[in-house]
Amino acid sequence: MPQMCDDECPFCNLPRERVFHEGHLFKAAWDIFPVSTGHALLILNRHVATWFEASQEEQIDLVGGIAIVRGIIERLHSPGGYNIGVNVGQAAGQTVFHLHVHVIPRYRGDVVDPTGGVRHVIPERGNYRVTGRQDR
């Protein structure tokens, strides 16, 4: 059974002025602690903690929302790429237990070496390439 929202959930009580798009089953808002310029969140309307508690319809709507939000970010900024992510559970770094998807624009030069992308959630395992090795 889904958890009911309460006064403690920042996404259940999201100020309207933070919302820049509303989908069928989600809303999109700018992250208040952005990793980069244009960092957006797709927040499920229904209060469930994780991706795996969402219905298939909700998951599909969130995935479709990524392209919509990307289009909005593209109109406002000029990123060279994106990281898209969902933190599921405290061990994975989830701090707000209301399902949300991060759409993080990336810019050329924002880090010295972006190789490995989301693999850097465990920093020493992020860059898996061996210098001089060619992919076959």
Under a CB-based contact definition with an 8 Å cutoff, are residues 4 and 47 in contact? yes
Reference 118, options 95, 89, 77, 86; nearest CA is: 86
Would you tell me how many other CB atoms lie within 10 Å of the CB of residue 66? 16
Single-letter amino acid, residue 130: V
Phi–psi pair at 83, nearest 5 degrees: -115, 135
The maximal CA–CA distance of the chain, rounded, in angstroms, is 54
| Integer CA distances (angstroms), 117 to 8, 23, 36, in order | 32, 28, 14
- Among candidate residues 39, 98, 100, 120, the one labeled active-site is 100
> Is 21 a catalytic site residue?
no
Which residues belong to the active site? 100
